[in-house]
Every structure is written in structure tokens, then in C-alpha cells.
Amino acid sequence: MTLEHVVTESKPSRLIYKTEVIIFPNAKDVDVYSGNLINQQIYNKPDSKLTLATGSSPIGAYQEMIREYKAGLDMSKLLTTNLDQYCYIPKNHPLSYERFMNENLFNFVNIPPDRRFIPNSEASDPDIEAVRYEQILTDTGQADLVILGIGPKLTGHIAFNGPGSSVDSRTRVICLDEDTIEANSRFCCDDKNQVPCLAISQGIANILEGRKIILIAKGAGKAEGIRSALEGPIGTHMPASLLRYHPDTTFILDSEAASLLGK
Ligand code: F6R
């Protein structure tokens, strides 16, 4: 029987997933490439909506944004939402992601304060705050570009969505797992007891709704997470693996983060 002779009653549907992986020899190249990609997005669509991550991974890309802003790139029409924020800490607490964003990006570019959204860490009821934030995400529409890091190596979670989260999870209050608390204590005198254990986080569904996603990972500490995200089983045990369902995701890696791929 040849292909022409195959008659089916139902119309097949075909899903094509494309995860692009770009590997650079060193971390600086990752920063420059990721930053250029974000800047290009802003040049192409000045009123882009960006989803932003905190942490060490995107800092170099944010520096490229600042450099380009100083060279003339206008960011006054951008709209940004952050992935997550701790609960029950002042906005200017050393661990606050609002503070992080101010110190690493917002203080140096002209994104208007009323177009920058971060969950309110001072909310007295984080569950209500999560609902309010989800409404903002809905009202402001689809993100044009989502910028992600990847978390501690064993769970490799993105945006704190550790085991137990589901594919359709949206903004909610989550308990940070031990890996994340441990990793984040480096910003808090290495004292795990000072790291808040609750955060408000966008969910996997919010992330996957973005038009384009980039995931930035550098260093050998990310190698195991990157391998299971790209080569392991797809599932909520490893939320970053769900990015393989997304039609336009690019992993931007240095050679250390990519060192376990294909092994
Ligand atoms: C931060 C976030 C986290 C980090 C991840 C990696 O907003 O959602 O998932 O992206 O923990 O952190 P770094 O980049 O510091 O290794």
C-alpha cells in the first residue's frame, strides 16, 4: 500500500514543536545575544509587552538594554510584567524583586513606572494580590517576549513553579522549595532563615501564552537542569520541559550550561 492509498476518515491534526537551542562559547556572548534580541524586539515593536525575570541570568541582557537605551533606544512605550515576587516583605527589602528590577534595569531606562508591573510584596492578603495580578496580565494582553532563567538544577523550575504545578496553572501564591530557598539565600548573607518561603508567581500557562520565549542559562550549575528540560521527559515535574510545547522558544546557553546535552 502506498501513501496515496491510505484513506482515513478523520482529518489528522499535526503539532510541530520547535525549540531552538543556541550555544555560545562564553557567558558574555549569551548576554550580548539575549540583550540584542530584546532590543531588536523593542525596535520592531516599541509598545511591546515583555515578561521579565530576576536573578543572575538576565542581568547581562538588562545591561545590554541599558547600553542601547543610552545609544537612543526609546523604551517609553514598553509594558513589562515580572514573573514573580516574594510575599510579606517591604518593596525595598534586599531580596525584593521590585528592588532588583529598579537596581538592574528600571532606574537606568525610560520605561514609565505605570507601565511596569510586579506583584505587590506588601499585600496583606497574597491570594487576593495574585488574583489582582492575574487580572493585570489578562488586561494587558499577550506578552510579545518572555525572558526566563532556570532554577536550581534538580527541579530546574522556571518562575518558581516547582513540582506540583500544572500546565494550566496561572498566577498564584506558591511555597518555595528547599532548592530555591537555598539558592536565593546567597542574596541574604547565606542565611536560609531570612529567605521568605512564599511568593506570588505567574504560572506555566501565563508563560506559555507568550508569543516568543527565551530562556537564558549560564554556567555548569545549570547543565543538569538544561539537559532534563531539553532531553528528559516532558512534564510538570520539570516545568522548563513544558517549553518544548511552545512554538517559538529559544534556549540561549553558554557551553558550560550546554555541557551535558547529547551525552
Ligand atoms: C526569577 C525566577 C527564577 C530564576 C531562577 C534562576 O524571577 O523566576 O526562576 O529565573 O531561579 O535564577 P538565577 O538566574 O539567579 O540563576
Label residue 4 exposed, middle or buried (CB < 10 Å: 0-12, 13-18, 19+): exposed
Label residue 185 exposed, middle or buried (CB < 10 Å: 0-12, 13-18, 19+): middle
Determine phi and psi for 41, rounding to 5 degrees: -60, -40
Q: What is the pLDDT of residue 16?
A: 61
DSSP strands (E only) in 48-95? 49-52, 79-82, 84-86
Q: What is the pLDDT of residue 162?
A: 58
Which residue's CA lies nearest to atom 5 of ligand 1? 151
Q: What is the pTM of this model?
A: 0.91
What separation in Å is there between the alpha carbon of 10 and the centre of ligand 1? 44
Does residue 1 register a pLDDT over 50? no
pLDDT in tens, 56-65: 999 999 999 9
More confident residue, 250 or 235: 250
Ligand 1 pocket, residue 51 CB under 6 Å: no
The minimum-distance atom of ligand 1 relative to the CA of 216 is 14
Domain assignments of the chain as residue spans, ordered by start: 18-254
CA distances to 88, 173, 181, 182, 257 from 91, in Å: 9, 17, 19, 21, 32
At 205, is the pLDDT very low, low, confident or very high (cuts 50, 70, 90)? very high
Question: What value does the mean pLDDT take over residues 194-211?
Answer: 91
At 178, is the pLDDT very low, low, confident or very high (cuts 50, 70, 90)? confident
Task: State how far the Cα of 147 lies from the Cα of 82, in Å rounded to an integer.
Answer: 9
Determine phi and psi for 171, rounding to 5 degrees: -55, 130
Does residue 168 register a pLDDT over 50? yes
pLDDT in tens, 77-97: 999 999 999 999 999 999 999
What separation in Å is there between the alpha carbon of 212 and the centre of ligand 1? 18
Does residue 165 register a pLDDT over 50? yes
The minimum-distance atom of ligand 1 relative to the CA of 52 is 7
Question: What value does the mean pLDDT take over residues 213-223?
Answer: 95
DSSP-based three-state secondary structure for 144: coil
- Nearest in space to 86 (alpha carbons), one of 117, 57, 119, 58: 119
Task: State how far the Cα of 20 lies from the Cα of 230, in Å rounded to an integer.
Answer: 10
Which among 59, 146, 150, 195 is the best mutation to test ligand 1's pocket, defined by most ligand atoms within 8 Å of the CB?
Answer: 150
The dotted CATH code for 18-254 is 3.40.50.1360
Does residue 13 register a pLDDT over 80? no
At 224, is the pLDDT very low, low, confident or very high (cuts 50, 70, 90)? very high
83-96 as b/e, with b when 16 or more CB fall inside 10 Å?
A: bbbbbebeeebebb
Does residue 11 register a pLDDT over 70? no
Question: What value does the mean pLDDT take over residues 125-131?
Answer: 97
With the C-alpha atoms ordered 7, 8, 13, 16, is the resulting torsion angle positive or negative? Answer: negative
Q: What is the pLDDT of residue 220?
A: 95
Q: What is the mean pLDDT of the chain?
A: 90
Does residue 68 register a pLDDT over 60? yes
Which cell numbers hold the place of 87? 510575599
Ligand 1 pocket, residue 155 CB under 6 Å: no
What separation in Å is there between the alpha carbon of 216 and the centre of ligand 1? 10
Task: State how far the Cα of 261 lies from the Cα of 231, in Å rounded to an integer.
Answer: 8
At 166, is the pLDDT very low, low, confident or very high (cuts 50, 70, 90)? confident
CB 252 within 8 A of CB 186: no
- Of all residues in the chain, the percent with pLDDT exceeding 70 is 87
Which residue's CA lies nearest to atom 9 of ligand 1? 159
Label residue 125 exposed, middle or buried (CB < 10 Å: 0-12, 13-18, 19+): exposed
At 103, is the pLDDT very low, low, confident or very high (cuts 50, 70, 90)? very high
DSSP strands (E only) in the chain? 19-24, 49-52, 79-82, 84-86, 116-117, 145-148, 172-175, 198-201, 212-217, 249-254
Concatenated DSSP letters for 101-141?
HHHHTGGGS---GGGEE---TT-S-HHHHHHHHHHHHHHT-
CB 118 within 8 A of CB 98: yes
pLDDT in tens, 133-149: 999 999 999 999 999 99
